[in-house]
Amino acid sequence: MSKLTTGSFSIEDLESVQITINNIVGAAKEAAEAEEIGPMGPTPFPGLASYRDDWNLVLLDRYEPVITPMCDQCCYCTYGPCDLSNNKRGACGIDMAGHNGREFFLRVITGTACHAAHGRHLLDHLIETFGEDVPLDLGQSNVLTPNITITTGLSPKTLGELKPAMEHTEEQLTQLLATVHAGQESSEIDYDSKALFSGSLDHVGMEISDIVQIAALDFPKADPEAPLVEIGMGTIDKEKPFLCVIGHNVAGVTYMMDYMEENDLTDKMEIAGLCCTAIDLTRYKEADRRPPYAKVIGSMSKELKIIRSGMPDVIVVDEQCVRGDIVPEAQKLKIPVIASNAKIMYGLPNRDNQDVDATIEELKSGAIPGCVILDNEKLGELTIRLTQEMHPIRKAEGFREIPSDEQLKEWVDKCADCGACYLACPIELDIPEAMKFAKEGDYSYLEDLHDACVGCRRCEQVCKKEIPILSVIEKASQKLIAEEKGWMRAGRGQVSDAEIRAEGLNLVMGTTPGIIAIIGCPNYIGGSKDVYYIAEEFLKRNYIVAVTGCGAMDIGMYKDEDGKTLYEKYPGGFECGGLLNNGSCVSNAHITGAAEKVAGIFASRTMEGNLAEIADYTLSRVGACGLAWGAFSQKASSIGTGCNILGIPAVLGAHSSKYRRALIAKTYDESKWKVYDARNGEEMPIPPAPEFLLTTAETWQEAIPMMAKACIRPSDNSMGRSIKLTHWMELHEKYLGERPKDWWKFIRNEADLPLAKRADLLKVLEADHGWEIDWKKKKIISGPKIKFDVSAQPTNLKRLCKEA
């Protein structure tokens, strides 16, 4: 009985009795574990301690947690608030380091829970709609679920077979959340180990979220030529009714799009969105390359801006990254708000059980500012019909105009130049200076603020004159906004096995200099063009650039002098110089999945239940580095931490120092830069790279050489090392003004030297570092502390060594 996972049986002696078993919790896992499914690593279905000693503490020994508290105090329980400054212990006994380890860990499990809950919602919804047997058709791949497989050991092939992985993630999340309670875990290093574990689960939750929608909703399937999608506030046709969707969960939106198609409305109204729902609605039914009609407005930083523009006739929200003030802001412009997911209900009345006609009348009259509709069929019909009907009403009542020129002047003149907005602005925009010039009639300084402004409204909160500063900036930027039109490639989904086979050797040898993954939110330091500059620089140098989410959107907003976006200029495949948009935030699982596939497919490593070995391989051999330049959300912390446990370093923008934790190695401590040679278990020295797993950069110009350096790996062959050093040294010189001081630490022999500067660099090695050079043969005789051995097998895991 307990071996049954699903099925039905009848009891013959009792007539008319039939018992149907849909699922026994735990039985699927048990059956999967018992099944002979080939080689299996040591950690299938891992628990809180499974990765701790074997891998996490190894990582954390080299990449030490750097604690930067947000607050001196702990305000967690009624013993406190306790002053923990100078690493003091509080009333419960926890110290500052432990408390901040908990604070960061809490962010990570929050992010993991968001993706896992998103995955659960989609899994249940799609199984209910399409059945359990929908095959996981994700493109030309045999390895369909790399993150699930290395975590659980399973290789599900249908929607139904994903249930054990989903259950495992949920079970471990409960265990992890329990450790946050007062009087539980208090060690900082163990919170970091738990955060890493949670990060790995996050990529399972994300993987489930994306593959179920790819399989069931016919999204592009590992498609390098997924269609181009219009992006930007300027793409919206103001003359058409406009339905604006915000959030991360596309389930409800598909019903709206179906209703539009069934009623021949796709060219008669606009449907566009912000954040990941927007990315995913442009993927819906796109596997057959139907011309997309859905548009993307942009990231979360545009939420308040698009509402204040007055353009949306109806707003639908689902979950995650949705502002808390959408209802009051929308109400000012008579825009009804529909909450379509139980995770955000805004205190609105539920109209699931009411007739659609009656609800439309209620909303049109303004009797209610919005409502909750969780019934997807009703949601599809109501939102489309309501948008059609609200459009002429709002137009007639003049709600479609942003403030007049006179109103703008009036607001600007009210400014008392107190400077409070500058102090409050998270981006430190010099709003007082721009207002000063605006008073003199020069609005260009205000216009300059538009791109950097994250639309948070903190300036308005502190303005004693109650000037709607965000609206002032947006009005002054009207022309700029109208021109905000770009192209983004619709999310292509996974990297196929064929692409991995074709590119794996180049990556492992280092001849493709690296994978640069640009992900995450819009809380940038200097404006959204930062990520465009970074992507362009690496694409020009033949790195593989993989993008997702808000970063993917912002990269598509800018054009070169010929009017082309990067998506139009570079191919969408996993290849040297390729620009892949994998999809929405949950598609980040495909980026880690690609690195895992290099180990599993290219290097034939066992993937099943074998996280540490796969991660060790990536850290040693696969030059990948993430960039979350505007990381803002808790999900960004879990995505990044998931990359870290898998051996992928990440550079974050300066705001992310507020996550309170980084993972940085001591480059000067030689004891940290040793690995084992798996052939015989002997220790071998390695260069100090990558020198961090998680850190922040101050400017995009600093981030570029940091990322190029982070792609250097101990196993690079000489040609690969030479190519990687060439790029890093050139980029360092280009952006930081001079040759890096520590380049020589990466040289094992003369073949490692960048080709174009070999003779010059040999002279430096001799003169500055005392290395012996045979000038006739142009060979290094002595000097390097690290040796190159083509057959060496560097590993951080002693158990993988033959002599172990």
Partner 1 sequence: MVDTTKNTKLFTSYGVTTSKAINPDMAAKMISKAKRPLFVVGTGVLQPELLDRAVKIAKKANLPIAATGSSLPGFLDKDVDASYINLHQLGFYLTDPKWPGLDEKGNYDMVIVLGFKKYYINQVLSGTKNFSSVKAISIGRDYIQNATMSFGNISKEDNYAALDELIENL
Chain positions contacting partner 1, by CB under 8 A: 64, 66-73, 83-87, 96-97, 419, 423-424, 426, 428, 525, 654-655, 657-658, 660, 662, 664, 666, 668-669, 691-692, 695-699, 701-702, 706, 735-738, 740-741
The two structure tokens encoding residue 602 = 């290219």
Rounded least distance, CB 652 to partner 1, Å: 9
Q: In the complex with partner 1, which residue's Cβ is closer, 620 or 695?
A: 695
Rounded least distance, CB 89 to partner 1, Å: 13
Return the exposure string of 630-643: e unless at least 16 CB atoms fall within 10 Å of the residue's CB, then b.
Answer: bbbbbbbbbbbbbb
254 phi/psi in degrees, rounded to 5: -60, -35
Helix (H, G, I), strand (E, B) or coil at 573: coil
Rounded least distance, CB 354 to partner 1, Å: 45
- Closest residue by Cα to residue 315 from 358, 275, 355: 275
Angle at 626 between CA 621 and CA 627, to 5 degrees: 155
Q: What is the Cα–Cα distance from 386 to 338, expressed in whole angstroms?
A: 10
Reply yes or no: is the peptide bond before residue 81 cis, omega within 30 of 0.
yes
Rounded least distance, CB 525 to partner 1, Å: 7
- Closest residue by Cα to residue 622 from 747, 495, 715, 539: 715
484 phi/psi in degrees, rounded to 5: -75, 85
Element (H, E) at 588: helix 588-597
Rounded least distance, CB 498 to partner 1, Å: 38
Return the exposure string of 673-696: e unless at least 16 CB atoms fall within 10 Å of the residue's CB, then b.
Answer: bebbbbeeeeebebbbbbbbbbbb
Q: What is the Cα–Cα distance from 130 to 254, expressed in whole angstroms?
A: 14
Q: In the complex with partner 1, which residue's Cβ is closer, 525 or 708?
A: 525
Rounded least distance, CB 100 to partner 1, Å: 9
| In contact, 373 and 351? CB cutoff 8 Å | yes
Rounded least distance, CB 661 to partner 1, Å: 10
User: Looking at residue 208, what DSSP letter applies?
Assistant: H
Rounded least distance, CB 691 to partner 1, Å: 8
Burial class (CB in 10 A: 0-12, 13-18, 19+), 511: middle
Rounded least distance, CB 533 to partner 1, Å: 12
C-alpha torsion angle, residues 753, 759, 765, 768 (rounded to 10): -140
Rounded least distance, CB 710 to partner 1, Å: 11
Q: In the complex with partner 1, which residue's Cβ is closer, 99 or 302?
A: 99
Q: In the complex with partner 1, which residue's Cβ is closer, 132 or 702?
A: 702
Ramachandran region of residue 131, left (φ > 0), alpha (ψ -120 to 50) or beta? left
Rounded least distance, CB 84 to partner 1, Å: 8
Q: Which amino acid is at 18?
A: Q
- 3-state SS record for 450-461: HHHCCCCCHHHH
Q: In the complex with partner 1, which residue's Cβ is closer, 464 or 741?
A: 741
Q: Which amino acid is at 287?
A: A
Rounded least distance, CB 697 to partner 1, Å: 7
Q: What is the Cα–Cα distance from 502 to 578, expressed in whole angstroms?
A: 13
Q: In the complex with partner 1, which residue's Cβ is closer, 106 or 697?
A: 697
Q: In the complex with partner 1, which residue's Cβ is closer, 8 or 699?
A: 699
CA-CA distances (angstroms) from residue 355 to 318, 362, 526? 21, 11, 49
Rounded least distance, CB 85 to partner 1, Å: 5
755 phi/psi in degrees, rounded to 5: -60, -45
Burial class (CB in 10 A: 0-12, 13-18, 19+), 800: middle
105 phi/psi in degrees, rounded to 5: -55, -40
Rounded least distance, CB 632 to partner 1, Å: 13
Q: What is the Cα–Cα distance from 240 to 261, expressed in whole angstroms?
A: 16
| In contact, 421 and 449? CB cutoff 8 Å | no
Q: For the residues of 337-402, what is the DSSP string, one character each?
A: EEE-BTTB-TTPPB-TTS-HHHHHHHHHHTSSSEEE---HHHHHHHHHHHHHHHHHHHHHTTTT-P
Q: In the complex with partner 1, which residue's Cβ is closer, 69 or 227?
A: 69
Rounded least distance, CB 518 to partner 1, Å: 19
Rounded least distance, CB 406 to partner 1, Å: 31
CA-CA distances (angstroms) from residue 120 to 204, 279, 607? 11, 20, 24
Q: In the complex with partner 1, which residue's Cβ is closer, 696 or 718?
A: 696
